[in-house]
């Protein structure tokens, strides 16, 4: 995985197999020892639970950032994901980053950010995909957890996310350029600076 564009530092990482925990941990440890920046665990419904595997990897590494990629929060209650993410970020010393699948991600991002604020007032939310009736806020994560949109929906990334991630294997360069331009346009329309949005390219 590399991240580029708009002056952000270039970062490198490795995606690990979510169905082979021994290999995943070994690769993560090696990447950590080599000074890579990211270890990525895809959210695959047919493999190990991404949260559990990331927790296992967090305990076996010390510096590398932990990325849950392609989380589908239409399959998981966003309130549960918010608590799990904050807990893992706290336990790992602020190393978590989230990559969300586009489906329902706009509602999920609103809920995640609202629940990560340590306030006594519970959160009520009525959306198309997510509904909460007095959800308890907190705990707050150890740092401001970056939220990326994984694959597709560049307009959504530009409007509400911290970054946009695409798999560039077999991707037409012109298509990626159009996606990058769409991120910029959506950011400007939402009153955001496009330079704040990280661009991520994954390849195998």
Comparing CA positions, the residue from 143, 141, 161 lying closest to residue 152 is 161
- Position 54 scores a pLDDT of 96
pLDDT digits (tens, 9 = 90+) for 9-58: 888 889 999 999 999 999 999 999 999 999 999 999 899 999 999 999 99
pLDDT digits (tens, 9 = 90+) for 127-181: 898 999 989 898 899 999 999 998 789 999 999 999 998 877 667 788 888 999 9
Number of separate domains in the chain: 1
What SS3 state is found at 87? helix
- CATH value at residue 166: 3.20.20.30
Residue with tokens 């037409």: 172
- CA dist 34 and 142 (Å) reads 25
- CA dist 115 and 118 (Å) reads 7
What domain range includes position 176? 2-202
pLDDT digits (tens, 9 = 90+) for 62-117: 999 999 999 988 888 899 999 999 999 999 999 999 999 999 999 999 999 999 99
Comparing CA positions, the residue from 105, 87, 101, 95 lying closest to residue 39 is 95
- Position 175 scores a pLDDT of 85
- What are phi and psi for residue 9, nearest 5 degrees? -65, 145
Residue 2's pLDDT band (cuts 50, 70, 90):
very low
């Amino acid at each position: 995985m590399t991240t580029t564009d708009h002056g952000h530092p270039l970062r490198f990482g490795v995606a690990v197999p979510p169905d082979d925990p021994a290999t995943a941990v070994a690769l993560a440890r090696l990447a950590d020892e080599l000074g890579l920046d990211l270890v990525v665990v895809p959210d695959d419904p047919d493999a190990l639970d991404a949260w559990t595997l990331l927790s296992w990897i967090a305990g076996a590494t010390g510096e590398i950032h932990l990325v849950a990629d392609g989380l589908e929060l239409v399959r998981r209650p966003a309130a549960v994901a918010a608590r799990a993410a904050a807990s893992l970020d706290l336990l790992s010393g602020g190393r978590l980053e989230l990559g969300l699948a586009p489906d329902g991600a706009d509602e999920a991002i609103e809920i995640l950010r609202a629940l990560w604020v340590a306030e006594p007032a519970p959160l009520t939310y009525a959306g198309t995909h997510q509904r909460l009736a007095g959800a308890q806020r907190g705990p707050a994560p150890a740092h401001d957890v970056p939220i990326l949109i994984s694959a597709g929906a560049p307009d959504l990334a530009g409007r509400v996310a911290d970054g946009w991630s695409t798999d560039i294997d077999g991707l037409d360069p012109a298509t990626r350029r159009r996606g990058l331009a769409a991120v910029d346009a959506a950011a400007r329309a939402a009153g955001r600076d496009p330079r704040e949005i990280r661009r991520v390219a994954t390849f195998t």
